[in-house]
Structure 1
Amino acid sequence: MSVTEVTASGTRRAVTRSWVPEVPVALEFNGLAYAVMMATPRDLDDFAAGFALSEGLAASVRDITDIAVAEVDNGWVVRAALTGLGIDKLTERVRTRVAESSCGLCGIENLAAVARPLPLVASHGAIEPAAIFAALAAMEPQQPLARETGAAHAAAWVSAEGTIGCLREDVGRHNAMDKLIGAMARAARPLSHGFVLSTARCSYEIVEKAVRGRATTLVCMSLPTSMAVARAEAAGLSLWALAREDSVLLVNDASA
């Protein structure tokens, strides 16, 4: 699309820009409408699987079957079947949920739900800072949507040596994390063997998704919130923040 760029000196010129796709994506589990998220319509099968895992609707990817993605008027619908313990939680959440959002506390029934204990992450070794710097240097070329639009978040799984093994993009930071969790789970590749690198603001939701996705180390490009730090400490998640090309902060070292 052609737009006008205006500089501080007052000059104007026509430039071409692309916009990051953002559409409503309805998630339906067992025939029940669970959530409508604003998301980028790619890797939606990974998104549905990762969302179910990070929301606690499924204990493992084996509990998620028959994922079907369909474009409809005004958006997309992703349908999946859940088995196991997630069925009861699905029914209860659908009954009590009054609002939907890709972030924040919308849909949580009460304040006590915010502080529910997280599962403890697996015992893990320390990540070398050199691996983080190597991944940061390699990340931008693997973000085509961000390069094209300048408005997409990314979440990546990185090996202990600093090699990016899987990356997903989305307009929503939580969605990118869910897509990564789903992609890795569906490929039977554990997030615990290495670390997760996210362009997102390091909020408590990103920490919780990382923990429920069974990551052991999370690296974010921003500083964490107080609740993010508290949740990481409680779950035993190693947390690095403010990752830059030449520096990074070790916020919580839970390595064995």
Structure 2
Amino acid sequence: MMITPHDIDDFVMGFAFTEDIISSVSDLRHIKITAQPDGLRADVRVNAQALRKVLARTRRPIAGRTGCGICGADMESITNRKICSVTGREPDAGAIHKALENLRSHQVLNKGLGMLHAAAWCLPNGHIVHVREDVGRHNALDKLIGYGLRHQLDFTQGFCFLTSRCSYEMAAKAIAAGMSAVVSLSAPTALAVRTARAAGLVLFSPARTTGMYMVSPAPQN
């Protein structure tokens, strides 16, 4: 993975969960992070059930990366992936504006770099309580989800705010984590919108100080 070297334990947990390597926190037995000459190495131990599921899969042909689009898995596994349903809850417009106004101040790493994405978890009133940052938008979201799993965060009570656009993979990861709503700064892809609508995920995208648009569920005429 091309990844910012912070909160790696959270990333391992989140990525393993959203990529369906593990089904729950209890499936992951051990994570060991060690420094390497050219980066970091994560050694992960899972239980027997999770290992059997991984071994039964088609081998991944490409490495995970920070580029746009579908990353980290072959196309067949993506198109055949089963998307679960979630109970969507529409955030209050005032809460979204509050989170939008305060998001930059919570991007601690980005202050010195100016090129990192963030995934923030916001309470129903718009108060930002957890933020994870990374050069890759997928990685930032996986880190946030991993943190939430490790600390038993209720992803139905509040919404996720993304500084990036919402692609299919971002929507699928949010749905896998059981999130009820996602707000993103940039416009979504068509596949992300269809995925969100099919699962019941509330999606506001784009969301800016000048206005916001709810694309999922389908806008009412």
Aligned residues: 216
Structure possessing the higher radius of gyration over alpha carbons: 1
Deviates more, 1:211-220 or 1:172-181: 211-220
Deviation at 1:86, TM superposition (A): 2.6
Asked whether the 8 Å contact 1:58–1:84 carries over to 2, the reply is no
Structure 2 residues not aligned, in runs of 5+: none
Say whether 1:101 aligns with 2:85. no
Give the equivalent residue in structure 2 for 1:59: 23
| Residues 142-157 of structure 1: pairs in structure 2 closer than 5 A | 142-157=106-121
Going from structure 1 to structure 2, the CA distance change for 1:112 and 1:70 (only over 3 Å counts) comes to: closer
TM-score by length of 2: 0.91
Say whether 1:120 aligns with 2:85. yes
| 1:146 alignment partner AA | N
Q: Deviations over 1:100-127 (max 9, x none)?
A: 1235445544536424220111x24321
Tell me the distance in 2 between the aligned counterparts of 1:214 and 1:204.
15
TM-score by length of 1: 0.79
Give the equivalent residue in structure 2 for 1:191: 155
Deviation at 1:187, TM superposition (A): 0.6
Matched residue of 1:190: which SS? coil
Matched residue of 1:161: which SS? coil
Q: What is the identity percentage for the equivalent residue pairs of Structure 1 and Structure 2?
A: 37
Q: Which has the higher contact order (CA 8 A, sep 6+)?
A: 2
Structure 1 residues not aligned, in runs of 5+: 1-36
Tell me the distance in 1 between the aligned counterparts of 2:48 and 2:200.
26
| Residues 1-256 of structure 1: pairs in structure 2 closer than 5 A | 37-83=1-47, 85-93=49-57, 96-102=59-65, 104-106=69-71, 108-111=73-76, 113-121=78-86, 123-253=87-217
Tell me the distance in 1 between the aligned counterparts of 2:73 and 2:36.
28
Deviation at 1:170, TM superposition (A): 0.5
Matched residue of 1:139: which SS? helix
Going from structure 1 to structure 2, the CA distance change for 1:106 and 1:139 (only over 3 Å counts) comes to: closer
Matched residue of 1:242: which SS? strand
Deviates more, 1:241-250 or 1:49-58: 241-250
Q: Deviations over 1:53-81 (max 9, x none)?
A: 11011111222221111111111011222
Please tell me the root mean square deviation across aligned C-alpha atoms, in Å. 1.8
Matched residue of 2:34: which SS? strand
Asked whether the 8 Å contact 1:108–1:114 carries over to 2, the reply is no
| 2:135 alignment partner AA | V
Asked whether the 8 Å contact 1:59–1:85 carries over to 2, the reply is no
| Greater share of residues in helix | 2
Deviation at 1:84, TM superposition (A): 6.0
